[in-house]
Structure formats: structure tokens, C-alpha cells
Amino acid sequence: MSEAGFGAPTRRQLLTAVGKIGGTAALYQLMTTMGHAAETQFSGPPNLSGARKGASVIVLGAGLAGMLAAYELTKAGYKVQILEYQQRAGGRNWSLYGGDTYTDLSGATQHVKFAPGNYLNPGPWRIPHHHRTLLHYCKAFGVKLEPFIQYNHNSFVHHEKAFGGTPQRFKALAADFEGNVAELLAKSIDQKALDQALTKEDREKLLEALREWGMLDADMKYAKNLKSSSHRGYDRPPGGGVPGAPTPSDPFAFGEVLDSHIFTNMAFFMNDEMQTTMFQPVGGMGMIGKGFQKQVGQMITHGAKVSKVMQDASGVTVTYTDMPANMVRTAKADYCVCTIPLGILNQIDINVKPAKKAAIGAVPYSGQVKIGLEMKRRFWEEDEAIYGGHSFTSQDIALVSYPNYNYFQDGPAVLLGSFANGIGAYKLAGMTPEQRIEAALAQGSVFHPESYRKEFLSGASVAWHRNPWTLGCCARWTEEMRAAHYQTLVEVDDRIVLAGEHASYIGCWMEGALLSSLDAITRLHKRALEA
């Protein structure tokens, strides 16, 4: 059917509009899309010298941000106490092992039945190579890391509206997409080859693909901005706390990009034999929380449910319920570092400035769902030659991720049967744990129809909007919200400062929590010296 009535552009006109991606630059962007976050601002541990003798700080929350604050403040000479709601440290840095139990806000209790050594990471599960703060403290605290296979050419991609719903290998789809785009770019040099108009539907699909793939702006231009810099790197990388905002970098002149022959190197990584790795702790993500806890465990009061945080000229007083003893207690200190997630903090009586209260209540949290499925054997390795990486689907579960440890071993292993976001997560969160497992089995079977149900042993799931100690997975800022509230949220309010991934420009990553913590205690220390 002719699209002439819509004034359809020729292929030449379309490609001219997106010419600044330059083909190879766009390919570079694709190679960095698969889970890599930006370089961050870490330059080493903070200098907190000169602390007043006897000065004290109370830290609310024994997640990574809280424990790092306690560790560095104690090194500087402060007396520190940590109040933690749970009976463990680590916060969202957490692994579920066989024998663990988990109860969500619905009252549903899951008894995890995984075999020894197997686990589900409900929260963070991978570490980019340039999250230098986290890597620094993992090394300092003796947390062993191993590769996490992020990019697996041999995994599957499934869309219900493509190929009759049959999954295809990632490497084949990626190669064909890049090959066809390269062909279009090649034809843009040949005027006679561009006379054929695209259909309206194909034009819209290709434009959207190029916009997302090439990090193009609203005018379909590859330009200096935060979007392009999120792939190529920033002049000032994102960080935590007050100086967290990144600044964009300048794209290279396209002629120089071609002169560099970078396309040779990019083709190397698209070779079927090459893979891209990140990192994970040996034994589960929760090992990082345990490594931090070894440094500050003696400072933590567990089972402390905070209800009030009051500050005045003399210091900060925190009222909390000692849940094991069922008694109300108070804790006092000169200053307070609060790392409680904002959805919880918004329900606590805290006397900070009205603008900070407004900021605390302004930021929504995402509600991801993760589902772990233990299988009798590693059929994805034995039958499909898939070692780590992810298979993607348009269904609610979003993906299946294959374990990155104990390759080639016999016996049970745990797949990540879902990492759901958006509407898919809302649907799964509304189910019982048993219903979630059934949904994960039904939808994941599209990749491995002969084995998925036959090899299934047991499962466990976490729906973060139903989590009683966070009420969501992580903070979801918009640029408008940041402009209105971010600096107010992260500034020191007399004797209280907030920290956590919500107080950073690297939300949802452990790196953001740690950087915000370092910025918060540096500014609090400065305030203490001035006092």
C-alpha cells in the first residue's frame, strides 16, 4: 500500500535526519546499552580529620549507606550507634538461601527450599566495572568477587508479535539489525538506491529504533546532552549528595571517529566467541552486606523500629521500639545520618524544615519483582549451551537470567525467572507467591519448553512494593522533581543529613548509596567542625 499521501520520506531523507549517529557511533552506543552504568565520582575514602573528641552520631539504617557512614565516622573518631529495623544488616543488599523465610505486607510467608549454595538476589545482583566506590570497599573488606556474564550472544529474545512468538537467538537478531542498518547507511551514499519510500509503519519503527539505539534527542540528532553522555561517558560523572548532578561530554567529530577505525574493535566484541562481563560476590549479593557488617556489627542495634527523630540545639533524639523486648526506647547523639528509604521516612515524625519534608514525600519508588526458580539440573547449559547472561521476553516476567557460578556442575541450580518492571511488575506483585511461580514457569517455558516445568523443584519471589521495610525497590526521580527537591533533600538540615541511593544521581545502584553516604558524612563533619 502506498504511503504517498503521508508525504513519506525517501530512505535518503530519513537517514539524513539521523546522520549524526554516523553508523559506527550508533553501533558503539548499542554495545554499551546492556546494563552498564556511568563512571562515578569516587576519588578515595573521605578525609574527616579533626573530629571533636566525644562527638557522636546516630545512624538510622544498616544498609550499605548506613554502614559505610558508621565505618568512616568511627575511623575519624566519632562515637557511632546504628539503629536497624531488621534482624540482619545489608538492607536491599540481600540474598535468600535455603532455610530462609520471608514475609511480605500481605502476610504471605515463603519458606525458601533451595539446595545449599543456591540463592536468589532479590535486590542488586551485578556490579559494573566502573562502580569504583563499591569495588574499593569490597576489596578493603575482603568480599570476593567473580564475573557476572551480562552480555550473552547465545541467549534468546522473545516477542509475542514477532516470528510467530518463537524465540530467536540474540546474536542472530543483533547481527541482522546491525547489518540492515549498516546497509541503509551504505545506501545513503548511493543516491539511486534511496528512491524507494519507506512505509509509514516501517518508518515509525525504524525512527524509534534509531532514537533509542543511537541516544538521539527529540530532534533526532546525536548531540551533547545527558542522554548521549549516559553511553559515551560524562565530563563530570553522576554522584551522590549535593554534587551529584552529572555534566555531559562532547561527542567526537564523526570524521575522527571514522579515522580511528573503532568499527574494527566493535566488530571484535560482536564476534560469537566474545562476551561482556560485570561482577558479583561469590556466594550471593548478600555477602557484601556481611562484609560491611564485619566492620561495624558491634555498633548495630537490631529490631529497632524508629518512630520519631527530633533535633534541637543540644543534639538529636531518636525514639524507637525495641521489637524483641516490645519496649519504647530513645537514643541520643550530636548528629544523625538517616538512610531510611523515603517511603518509610515519610511516615516517621521528623522535625526537619518543611521543604525537606516535602522533598521526602515527593519521590515515588519503583516496584520491581524478582522470582527465583530452582531447577533439578542446568539444562540451559547442557541442552542449549547458554552460560550466564539473559534471555529477554515481552511478557510480564521481562527476562530469564542464567546463574553465573558453578558452571558445568551436576545438581540443582537457581535461575532468575523474572526481573519485572512497570506494568508487568504490578501484575506479578498483585499475585500470591504461588501464583507468581506459576506465571514465571508458564512464561519462561517459551525459552525452554521441553525442560522448564519438568526440571522445576521450588521457587521464591520478592515483590518490592510489598516489602515492609522499603515499600518499593528504589527512588524514581524525574528531572522536574530533581529541580524542585533534590538539593533540599541532600543538604544538611541543622544536625540531620539523609543518605542512600535516593540521595544520588545513580539511583537503584549500590554505588549511588555509597557515594551519597560519603558526601553526607563529609558535609556533616564540616558542620560539626564549624559548630
Q: What average pLDDT does this structure show over 267-290?
A: 81
- pTM (two decimals): 0.85
Quick: pLDDT tens for 506-518: 999 999 999 999 9
Three-state DSSP at 219 gives coil
For 460-481, write each residue's pLDDT tens digit.
999 999 999 999 999 999 999 9
Over pLDDT 70: what percentage of the chain?
A: 87
Model confidence band, residue 186 (pLDDT cutoffs 50, 70, 90): low
Domains along the chain with CATH numbers: 4-39+170-276 (1.20.1440.240), 56-91+288-362+476-530 (3.50.50.60), 97-153+279-286+366-466 (3.90.660.10)
User: Average pLDDT for residues 106-116, to the nearest whole number?
Assistant: 97
Do residues 472 and 437 touch, judged by C-beta distance below 8 A?
Answer: no
Structure confidence at residue 286 (pLDDT): 97
Q: Is the pLDDT of residue 10 over 70?
A: no
Check residue 196 and give its pLDDT: 60
Give the single-character DSSP code of 161. Answer: T
d(CA 320, CA 328): 6
Round to whole Å and give the CA distance between 496 and 429.
34
* Residue 485 grid cell: 527537591
Lookup result for grid cell 574527616: 48
Mean pLDDT of the chain: 88
pLDDT mean over 499-506: 97
Q: pLDDT of 220-236, one tens digit each?
A: 888 899 988 887 888 88
Residues found in the chain? 531
**Considering only 16-25, 227-236, 331-340, 414-423, which range has the smallest mean pLDDT?**
16-25
Run of H or E including 60: strand 56-60
